[in-house]
Each structure stands twice: as C-alpha cells, then as structure tokens.
Structure 1
Amino acid sequence: MTYLPIILLVLLALVILVVAIVIFTAILCDFRSGLSIRDAFAQRVKYLRLDKMLAKRNIRREDYLHTESVTNIENQIRNCESCSVIKQCDEALKEGGPADLSFCPNDEVFESIAKKSH
C-alpha cells in the first residue's frame, strides 16, 4: 500500500490549518484595531456638543459609534468642531423638551440614525 495519498492529505490539512490560523489572526487584529479606533472616537465625541446632541435625539453614543462608518464619524466631529451656531446649539441643548435642531450641520445624519434606531 502506498502512503503518498495519505501524506498529501495530511499536508493539505496542515496548509488549510495554517491558512485558517492566519485568517483568524488577521480578523482578530482588525477587530482590535476597530475597537481602539471606536474608543478614541468615543473619547472625542464625549467632550463635544455632538454627544449632547445625540442624547437629545435619544441616540446612544455606543450605538452611534457602532453603526456609523469611521469616515462619517470623522465628518460629523469636524462639522461639530467647526460649527458656527454654538449659541443656538447650547440653547437648544439646555431646553428640557423637544427643540428645533435643524440648525445643526449634522441634523440630517442624526435624523436618519434616530429613524433607524426606533
């Protein structure tokens, strides 16, 4: 009896195992990298009016960071940081009930997120 087919099958199984381990490691590293990026965004968002605006619209920060793409979050942070209607924003955020938030440069995005989450 020849052992060649068995040896080839074992080698093929080892190659598949190595490829699976490499893929798993790459996915795990990517996942960890994504988590650290989201954590960094969470820290940035926490100290902006953007965080209060999310809360005003009943959008949890964690849900926002999980569902929005990194590019969108960066754009929305940039919009918030360069906002020219800070007084109006502060007044709207101080109001206890619903407020007209259409002045916000991120209004359309937040409306869309709020509709998706409810």
Structure 2
Amino acid sequence: MPTLPPIVLLNSDYKRLCQILDQLPNQTGLAERLGEELDRAKRVAEGEIPEDVVTMNSIVNFVNEDTGASYQLELAYPGECRGSSDKISILSPAGEALIGLNKGASIEWPAEGRYIHLKIIGVSHPHTSVV
C-alpha cells in the first residue's frame, strides 16, 4: 500500500467507530483497513479539530481522480445512508478513505481489487454551531 497521508479523528468518532467495528460479525478486509486507520489516527478533543478535517457527519466535496467525477456527500454511520443519495457510509471504501483527511489531501485507497485516488476539495460541518 502507498504512503498514507496523516489523519485526525475526534475522540468521540474514534470511540463510536471502534464500537461499530467490535459489533461486526466477521472482520472483512474493509473493516480491517478501517481499524488500521483508527489505530494510526491522531485523536483530538472536540474543540481541537481543524475545521478543514473530515469528521463523521461532515459534508465532503471530493474528486475521484481516476474518473474525474466530483461528489458532495455527508460521511455517515452505517444505517444512516439507506435510501439517501447524498450520504456515504464510513463502511464503504471511499468513506473509510475520507475520514480524518483535510482539505487538499489526496489518498490512494484499495477498493474491490484496485486502488481509487481521491482528493478532498472542501469540508463543511453543518451540524455544528459557530460561536
């Protein structure tokens, strides 16, 4: 696997994602990779995360550099994506690749026997209030 960019996670996201991984019946390759991401992440408190970092429930603007396709999707927990075309699950290859990256970061990530190349164009946090 190529060199991975640094990632930052909220402590609360880390804890909830660890709980989700613990509940999965079988450790799939996807779950293993997400677990590795959680292990390598720098974890911070709520007020310490930079505004341009992808957290759970962030709206992420990103480009698939292989296809040129652009997306604007909310990074969501499993079960929150059903029937929604504007959300991406953290348990999808692209979802686990996005978590913790900052605006401008690129990543090469395994997906279904190949690699995808994603670049973060923008991040917003619509569920947080600005003081």
Q: Same fold (TM over 0.5)?
A: no
Tell me the TM-score normalised to structure 2 length: 0.25
Tell me the TM-score normalized by structure 1: 0.27
Structure number with the higher helix fraction is 1
Which one has the largest radius of gyration? Answer: 1
